[in-house]
């Protein structure tokens, strides 16, 4: 991959980026075993997951790409909005009942 292009902005076909048949089978198996969006579950909501997200962005690193410990089930809205915001800001979104951010890396918790 071109070092100047963000992995998310890579315009190659999905199969060319590693999301071909092998990924589709692994994705299907993972979602059968992990059918609910983990972000929604944290909020007490029951929402089906449709995306296998890489917790730590792999940026083309095949070892990280295939590391199932780096996968999490998300619904499409959480993947396309919440996760993207988290990656851009570098913190986990969310707060406890008092309004304190739940991410220990959040600047309010320093």
Q: b/e per residue, 39-68, with b = 16+ CB within 10 A?
A: bbeeeeeebebbbbbbeebbeeeeeebeee
pLDDT tens per residue across span 1-10: 444 445 556 5
Extents of the domains making up the chain: 13-92
In which residue are the tokens 């890396």 written?
Answer: 105
- Non-local (6+) Cβ contacts of 25 within 8 A are none
Q: Give the single-character DSSP code of 54.
A: E
For 61-81, write each residue's pLDDT tens digit.
Answer: 999 999 999 999 999 999 988
Q: What does pTM read for this prediction?
A: 0.67
Measured at the CA of 98, the angle between CA 95 and CA 100, to 5 degrees, comes to 45
């Amino acid at each position: 991959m071109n070092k100047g292009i963000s992995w998310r902005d890579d315009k190659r076909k999905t199969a060319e980026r590693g999301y071909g048949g092998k990924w589709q089978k692994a994705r299907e198996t993972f979602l059968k075993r992990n059918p609910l969006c983990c972000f929604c579950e944290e909020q007490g909501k029951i929402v089906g997951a449709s995306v296998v997200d890489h917790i730590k962005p792999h940026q083309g690193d095949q070892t990280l790409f295939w590391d199932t410990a780096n996968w999490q089930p998300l619904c499409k809205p959480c993947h396309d909005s919440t996760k993207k915001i988290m990656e851009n800001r570098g913190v986990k979104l969310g707060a406890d009942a008092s309004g304190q951010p739940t991410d220990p890396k959040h600047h309010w918790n320093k």
